[in-house]
């Protein structure tokens, strides 16, 4: 039976027929790998996700973690899933061999991980945060920190969190107030509180390794005075074993619309619940140098942002597959041209409007998946570049595509979930079917790891103007290559190439027009509209690449790719024209709006 | 303190300054009324909604009705709210005086009722269904039926439901199979089952009056063989009192994503749980003539569709007001041009992107409210027309606008709720704030009372071609009048008039192009896109009318109206251009898509 989580056929197409990730095995870092090892990982992940993760997805939604004032209880299936994942050595799947990792390419690891997000995004969250945490420590931690904290995480004995936000500082990290006071032994004591920390309290692992942003008194104001600390739930004893309770404690659980299976916490640090070593404050260990915390966190944050994008894709994808299945099985109504009311009803997949809703989903989720796997390959190229030029190009493209890879699927794969509900009709609105949960779960993605608005400021305010527009130029070169290849083929695909080329040229000239007057407020006023137009053009490019990879091939799968590409070029890309017109006008409607007029 | 449910200032503007509903009091039906009586009703409704409905909105979401196998338990606050509404004689607020009604104009009654939907859409659902049921019986019921069933509903002693759908027949009512067998005494016995029936089981009223669609054996196939029956929960005894239990029983409750406070049921009829009068079957009383059930139901369905639209507006509106309040109170970040990280944070309402999200909401919810009140006035004009021509015009406009009035707010006021969450950031995703519930509650509206797709078929397949395009012509005349008035004023508003005129002319010519080849499948293939373009153009017209009503007036309120109109014309109306291009191309992408390609 075909999986309703993801399409392995599509993954194979994207990874091998389009991105040719098997060729990455020619590079030193991946020399132990081959298409066979990639396939083995993908097979394993599909099996584990199906068996241990999908099976309690509804249950963990209906049974949120509870807090009795002392301990947090999570349904036991979450721990079973955690163990299955950890025992398969998947936590370290893309880590260095020196740490016991499998050194999988990021493109493959992302595809592998997507099975779990599609099956159960909440349970997968515990793992994703642990892997992100471990990844950061592997780069910036000391050998001692690696042995004490990272290795137990890779073994699944410890779990990890990322503790950045505070009640008064969500999007604005410059305003955090948690402070870290240096101690004579080189450690720190932390005081403050953290908000929105996922996975930060449970009994599934022996310890929880919190990576906490805090300010060392006397440092610079704003983000330049922020440092990064390891603050474990239990202080390690002299042998590295789990010692006494640290003073980082749960102040309360947040109750969310979706992603209910993972604890989301308010944490208090150094508030006196415990006094490790007989002293006040939560024991923390500085990671790297003082005041460099934001820089460290941002390396990781880019990966986390792509991870959020892939999570959004996964939820969109499984909703799409479930709605296709439903549409095939549900009889309702007759064709517009059929007049006999006594004729049997037809499956709704035969109605044009249902096909439209399924095609839109297909275009969004397969487009999003392709975008994220392409970003994964850029991570691999960056890491294993054969030349400075190759690295530079990969870095420029990745910088440009990261805000899109985070925000585009968060918007459009959520739209896919909305359509999946609509295809299901009234049934889709009930909790007896999965799609309403996917929609609720997916609604988090435009918010966390930098909202839609924050991504748009990153793209337009930082990435576009950086290095004199080098990122836009690099992307233009890449798009131009695809356009030339497609134009040479003639027919429908050449028309798509021309359409993409025109949209891209318009985007580039509008971008210049926006900055020309030198009014930064006006240029940035519609950054979110810019992000949306930019994203749709990028995904049109990704669809053109898929159409190219499918060109000349016959069969249902390739026909479907061509039709979805056609859908994207006819229904979606044209939406950018009025957006670009608006941007070119440097419209001041929002800037001129006054608080008192609302 | 200003209400966070709706804006009374806006209602006053729309009802009096724009629609001039006080002038309706010159007509016989409304001669007892005046602006004073309208204001008294609006004041009362705001007070009752605030005191009895809003106060348990979160509680009824968190405590769904439960079924112990025999009885359904609903939290007691729902009954208190029901009683407060009924005791204020509001159930009959727009009914005829002969029935004890207040004969309020529909425009005013809709505004009055919107307070309750904004406060608690689930609890309001029990009332809305009862009022719709009563309205139908008042038109087609016999005197006996009116005395036995309608009057107790108006007094709040009985409640009502509308039982149309079945498991295999949701959008396709032609396929219902519930049958009604005639009895010698003139009554019927019903056998079958019904699905998605809201409000059909609870203990809040002495009886529940279900209006049930069923087929009398031997009738025509399809919708032409459907009749309408009163099937009460308890059969009436000879004195009209509540008698023995009828055989219409709860088979189960549906559990929904939102609108959780109102029971949504699966009902069994004539399955043998009870045998009223010692015989099998649920006792039913025919309403009107046999086989005319769909026609009766459709009179009511048009009002129900506008009611759904107003429900969507109400949820969008309260979410908008709450997000404005939050944006004023929440400090976060600094302006794009501010460089000092030690400067205090600013309220997020000062950020351009937040203003964009608030302006979009304002444009959607105030546009939706204006559209629905305009439709309400058309109902009033239709009912009290001074000439055949006036009645005909009102009917044509109402026919054209009903699918828009149902679907446009269901789409865009849901989008407003999405933006309200986004303005709240992470807090908006938690159940501690209201906006996530509004979003969940509102997601039902594009589904029930005819899905988005069904509305689009109604508009493009039925309303547009009817009477040789008379509806489109009537709407064109009305729009042309507004355009002329606005064009005469010059300036920004004249530019908006020209923009609307161009969009409307393009819509009219595209409509002709779509039908010209005579290929109904191709013409209808993108009916949903047509509905969306049509809806945006209609709402642009509604915004131009508001801008006209605000013209020359000074003050924050009017400046806000002008700015929201400007937003709609600059950000929203241009979205229709690529939609109309797609429609004009008679694109076959969805028609050509094959099941096996998914």
Distance, in Å, from the CA atom of A70 to the CA atom of A249, rounded to the nearest integer, reads 9
Residues in chain A: 598
Distance, in Å, from the CA atom of A338 to the CA atom of A353, rounded to the nearest integer, reads 16
Q: Does A147 touch chain B (CB under 8 A)?
A: no
Question: For B250, phi and psi rounded to 5 degrees?
Answer: -75, 125
| A9 secondary structure, DSSP code | H
What is the structure's pLDDT at A336?
A: 81
Q: Does B555 touch chain A (CB under 8 A)?
A: no
Residues 6+ apart with CB under 8 A from A298: none
Q: Does B517 touch chain A (CB under 8 A)?
A: no
Residue B566's nearest CA partner among B300, B281, B342, B359 is B359
Token reading at A539: 């995904």
A207-215/A158-163 β-pairing: parallel
Residue A76 Cα, gap to closest chain B Cα (Å): 24
What is the structure's pLDDT at B476?
A: 98
Say whether A596 and B356 touch across the interface (CB within 8 A).
no
Token reading at B141: 């019921």
Say whether A336 and B556 touch across the interface (CB within 8 A).
no
pLDDT in tens, B306-349: 999 999 999 999 999 999 999 999 999 998 888 788 889 999 99
Are B560 and B362 in contact, with CB atoms under 8 Å apart?
yes
Q: Does B591 touch chain A (CB under 8 A)?
A: yes
| B598 secondary structure, DSSP code | -
Q: Does B343 touch chain A (CB under 8 A)?
A: no
Say whether A332 and B587 touch across the interface (CB within 8 A).
no
Residues in chain B: 598
Distance, in Å, from the CA atom of B400 to the CA atom of B530, rounded to the nearest integer, reads 13
Distance, in Å, from the CA atom of B452 to the CA atom of B429, rounded to the nearest integer, reads 26
Q: Other CB atoms closer than 10 Å to residue B144's CB: what's the count? A: 10
Q: Does A85 touch chain B (CB under 8 A)?
A: no
Token reading at B18: 């724009």
Residues 6+ apart with CB under 8 A from A279: A189
Are A542 and A504 in contact, with CB atoms under 8 Å apart?
no
In the predicted model, what is the mean pLDDT of residues B551-575? 98
Q: Does A524 touch chain B (CB under 8 A)?
A: yes
pTM listed for this prediction:
0.98
For residue A581, give the nearest of B175, B352, B574 by CB distance.
B574
Token reading at B80: 């208190």
Partnered with residue A181 across adjacent β-strands are A189
Token reading at B507: 């819509």
Question: For B545, phi and psi rounded to 5 degrees?
Answer: -65, -40
Token reading at B365: 């919810």
Q: How far is CA A100 from the centre of its chain?
A: 25
For residue A429, give the nearest of B224, B353, B447 by CB distance.
B447
For residue B429, give the nearest of A256, A337, A456 by CB distance.
A256
B 215-274 residues inside an 8 A Cβ radius of A? 221-224, 254-258
User: Looking at this predicted complex, what is its ipTM?
Assistant: 0.97
Token reading at B448: 């029930």
Q: B72: exposed, middle or buried (C-beta count within 10 Å: 0-12, 13-18, 19+)? A: middle
Are A153 and A210 in contact, with CB atoms under 8 Å apart?
no
B 454-473 residues inside an 8 A Cβ radius of A? 456-457, 461
Residue written as token pair 């009930």: A430
What is the structure's pLDDT at A239?
A: 87
Token reading at B375: 């439709």
Long-range own/partner contacts, residues A335-344 (CB < 8 A, 24 or more apart) = A335/B521, A336/B457, A336/B461, A336/B520, A336/B521, A336/B524, A337/B520, A337/B521, A341/B174, A341/B221, A341/B222, A341/B223, A341/B224, A342/B221, A342/B222
Task: Answer whether residue B390 shows pLDDT above 80.
Answer: yes
Residue A438's nearest CA partner among A61, A7, A56 is A61
Say whether A432 and B527 touch across the interface (CB within 8 A).
no
For residue B426, give the nearest of A356, A448, A585 by CB distance.
A448
Ranges of beta strands (E only) in A233-385 are 234-236, 242-245, 248-253, 264-269, 282-286
Domain limits of chain B?
A: 453-591
Say whether A453 and B353 touch across the interface (CB within 8 A).
yes
Q: Does A23 touch chain B (CB under 8 A)?
A: no
B158-163/A242-245 β-pairing: unpaired
B207-215/B158-163 β-pairing: parallel
Confidence of residue B3 (pLDDT cuts 50, 70, 90): very high
State the number of CA atoms in the 13 A half-sphere of B342 facing the CB.
Answer: 4
Say whether A353 and B528 touch across the interface (CB within 8 A).
yes
Token reading at B598: 């998914």
Q: What is the DSSP string of B546-581?
A: HHHHHTT--SHHHHHHHHHHHHIIIIIGGGHHHHHH
Residue of A nearest to B435 (CA): A257
Q: Does A590 touch chain B (CB under 8 A)?
A: yes
Distance, in Å, from the CA atom of B439 to the CA atom of B257, rounded to the nearest integer, reads 10
Are A91 and A127 in contact, with CB atoms under 8 Å apart?
yes
For residue A221, give the nearest of B342, B349, B566 by CB distance.
B342
Which residues in chain A are closer than 8 Å to B557, comparing Cβ atoms? 597
Distance, in Å, from the CA atom of B4 to the CA atom of B34, rounded to the nearest integer, reads 27
Q: What is the DSSP string of A301-327?
A: HHHHHHHHHHHHHHHHHHHHHHHHHHH
Distance, in Å, from the CA atom of A131 to the CA atom of A125, rounded to the nearest integer, reads 10
Secondary structure class of A458 (helix, strand, coil): helix
For residue B590, give the nearest of A352, A448, A594 by CB distance.
A352
Distance, in Å, from the CA atom of B253 to the CA atom of B201, rounded to the nearest integer, reads 9
In chain B, the percentage of residues whose pLDDT exceeds 90 is 95
Distance, in Å, from the CA atom of B144 to the CA atom of B150, rounded to the nearest integer, reads 9
Residue B592's nearest CA partner among A542, A494, A492 is A492
The continuous run of DSSP H or E covering B299 comes out as: helix B293-329
Say whether A349 and B598 touch across the interface (CB within 8 A).
yes
Q: How far is CA B209 from the centre of its chain?
A: 21
pLDDT in tens, B52-109: 999 999 999 999 999 999 899 999 999 999 999 999 999 999 999 999 999 999 999 9
Which residues in chain A are closer than 8 Å to B580, comparing Cβ atoms? none
Give me the helix-helix angle, A388-424 and A435-442, nearest 10°: 140
B282-286/B188-198 β-pairing: antiparallel
Q: Does B518 touch chain A (CB under 8 A)?
A: no
Average pLDDT of chain B to the nearest whole number: 96
Size of the A and B interface in Cβ pairs below 8 Å:
264
| B27 secondary structure, DSSP code | S
Chain B contact probe: residue of A64, A169, A266, A426 with most B CBs at under 10 A: A426
Which residues in chain A are closer than 8 Å to B347, comparing Cβ atoms? 595
Distance, in Å, from the CA atom of A438 to the CA atom of A319, rounded to the nearest integer, reads 7
Q: How far is CA A302 from the centre of its chain?
A: 9
Q: Does A177 touch chain B (CB under 8 A)?
A: no
The continuous run of DSSP H or E covering B295 comes out as: helix B293-329
A 298-317 residues inside an 8 A Cβ radius of B? none
Q: Does B583 touch chain A (CB under 8 A)?
A: no
Are A309 and A448 in contact, with CB atoms under 8 Å apart?
no
Chain A contact probe: residue of B343, B426, B579 with most A CBs at under 10 A: B426
Q: What is the DSSP string of B534-552?
A: HHHHHHHHHHHHHHHHHTT
Distance, in Å, from the CA atom of B405 to the CA atom of B408, rounded to the nearest integer, reads 6
Q: Does A26 touch chain B (CB under 8 A)?
A: no
Q: How far is CA A111 from the centre of its chain?
A: 12
Longest CA pairwise span in chain A (Å) = 88
Token reading at B501: 């005129």
Residue B404's nearest CA partner among B439, B434, B378 is B378
Distance, in Å, from the CA atom of B85 to the CA atom of B79, rounded to the nearest integer, reads 10
In Å, what is the CA distance from A261 to each residue of A22, A264, A405, A578?
A: 36, 9, 25, 41
For residue B593, give the nearest of A335, A527, A563 by CB distance.
A563
Question: pLDDT tens, position by position, for chain A (598 residues)?
Answer: 799 999 999 999 999 999 999 999 999 999 999 999 999 999 999 999 999 999 999 999 999 999 999 899 999 999 999 999 999 999 999 999 999 999 999 999 999 999 999 999 999 999 999 999 999 999 999 999 999 999 999 999 999 999 999 999 888 899 999 999 999 999 999 999 999 999 999 999 999 999 999 999 999 999 999 999 999 999 999 888 899 999 999 999 999 999 999 999 999 999 999 999 999 999 999 999 999 999 999 887 888 899 999 999 999 999 999 999 999 999 999 988 887 888 899 999 999 999 999 999 999 999 999 999 999 999 999 999 999 999 999 999 999 999 999 999 999 999 999 999 999 999 999 999 999 999 999 999 999 999 999 999 999 999 999 999 999 999 999 999 999 999 999 999 999 999 999 999 999 999 999 999 999 999 999 999 999 999 999 999 999 999 999 999 999 999 999 999 999 999 999 999 999 999 999 999 999 999 999 9
Longest CA pairwise span in chain B (Å) = 88
Q: Other CB atoms closer than 10 Å to residue B96's CB: what's the count? A: 13
Residue A461 Cα, gap to closest chain B Cα (Å): 9
Chain B contact probe: residue of A167, A442, A453 with most B CBs at under 10 A: A453
Say whether A566 and B589 touch across the interface (CB within 8 A).
yes
The continuous run of DSSP H or E covering A189 comes out as: strand A188-198
Chain A contact probe: residue of B586, B590, B594 with most A CBs at under 10 A: B590
Which residues in chain B are closer than 8 Å to A593, comparing Cβ atoms? 355, 358-359, 563
Chain B contact probe: residue of A515, A593, A594 with most B CBs at under 10 A: A593
Token reading at B130: 């009862």
For residue B172, give the nearest of A332, A430, A581 by CB distance.
A332
For residue A255, give the nearest of B258, B428, B432 by CB distance.
B432
Residue B54's nearest CA partner among B256, B253, B410, B314 is B314
């Amino acid at each position: 039976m075909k999986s309703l989580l993801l399409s392995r056929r599509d993954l194979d197409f994207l990874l091998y027929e389009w991105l040719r990730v098997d060729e990455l095995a020619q590079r030193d870092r991946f020399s132990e790998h081959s298409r066979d090892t990639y396939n083995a990982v993908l097979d394993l992940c599909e099996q584990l996700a199906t068996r241990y993760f999908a099976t309690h997805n509804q249950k963990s939604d209906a049974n949120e973690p509870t807090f009795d004032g002392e301990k947090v209880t999570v349904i036991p299936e979450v721990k079973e899933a955690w163990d299955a994942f950890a025992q398969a050595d998947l936590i370290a799947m893309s880590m260095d061999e020196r740490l016991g990792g499998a050194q999988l390419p990021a493109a493959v690891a992302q595809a592998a991980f997507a099975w779990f997000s599609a099956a159960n995004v909440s349970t997968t969250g515990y793992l994703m945060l642990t892997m992100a945490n471990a990844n950061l420590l592997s780069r910036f931690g000391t050998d001692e920190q690696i042995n004490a904290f990272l290795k137990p995480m890779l073994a699944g004995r410890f779990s990890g969190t990322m503790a950045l936000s505070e009640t008064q500082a969500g999007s604005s990290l410059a305003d955090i107030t948690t402070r870290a006071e240096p101690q004579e032994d080189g450690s720190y004591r932390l005081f403050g509180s953290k908000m929105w920390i996922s996975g930060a309290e449970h009994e599934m692992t022996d310890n929880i390794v919190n990576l906490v942003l805090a300010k060392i008194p006397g440092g610079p104001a704003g983000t330049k005075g922020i440092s990064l600390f390891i603050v474990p739930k239990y202080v390690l004893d002299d042998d590295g074993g789990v010692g006494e309770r640290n003073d980082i404690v749960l102040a309360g659980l947040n109750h969310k619309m979706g992603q209910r299976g993972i604890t989301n916490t308010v944490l208090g640090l150094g508030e006196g619940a415990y006094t490790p070593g007989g002293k006040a404050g939560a024991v923390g260990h500085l990671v790297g140098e003082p005041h460099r915390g934001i820089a460290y966190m941002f390396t990781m944050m880019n990966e986390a942002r792509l991870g959020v994008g892939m999570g959004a894709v996964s939820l969109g994808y499984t909703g799409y597959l479930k709605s296709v299945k439903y549409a095939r099985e549900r009889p309702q109504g007759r064709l517009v041209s059929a007049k006999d009311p006594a004729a049997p009803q037809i499956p709704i997949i035969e109605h044009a409007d249902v096909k439209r809703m399924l095609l839109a989903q297909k275009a969004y989720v397969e487009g999003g998946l392709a975008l994220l796997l392409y970003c994964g390959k850029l991570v691999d190229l960056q890491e294993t570049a054969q030349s400075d030029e190759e690295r530079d190009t990969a870095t420029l493209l990745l910088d440009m595509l990261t805000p899109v890879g985070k925000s585009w699927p968060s918007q459009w794969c959520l739209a896919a979930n909305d359509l999946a509900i609509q295809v299901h009709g009234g049934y889709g609105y009930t909790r007896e079917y999965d799609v309403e949960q996917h929609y609720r779960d997916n609604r988090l993605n435009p918010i966390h790891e930098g909202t839609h608005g924050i991504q748009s400021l990153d793209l337009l305010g930082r990435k576009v103007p950086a290095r004199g527009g080098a990122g836009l130029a690099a992307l233009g070169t890449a798009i131009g290559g695809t356009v030339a290849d497609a134009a040479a083929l003639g027919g429908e695909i050449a028309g798509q190439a021309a359409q993409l080329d025109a949209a891209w040229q318009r985007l580039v000239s509008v971008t210049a027009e926006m900055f020309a007057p030198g009014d930064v407020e006006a240029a940035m006023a519609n950054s979110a509209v810019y992000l949306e137009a930019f994203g749709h053009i990028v995904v049109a490019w990704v669809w053109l690449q898929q159409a190219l990879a499918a060109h000349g091939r016959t069969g249902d799968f390739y026909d479907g790719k061509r039709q979805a590409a056609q859908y994207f070029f006819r229904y979606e890309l044209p939406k950018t024209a009025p957006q670009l017109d608006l941007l070119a006008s440097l419209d001041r409607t929002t800037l001129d709006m006054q608080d008192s007029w609302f």
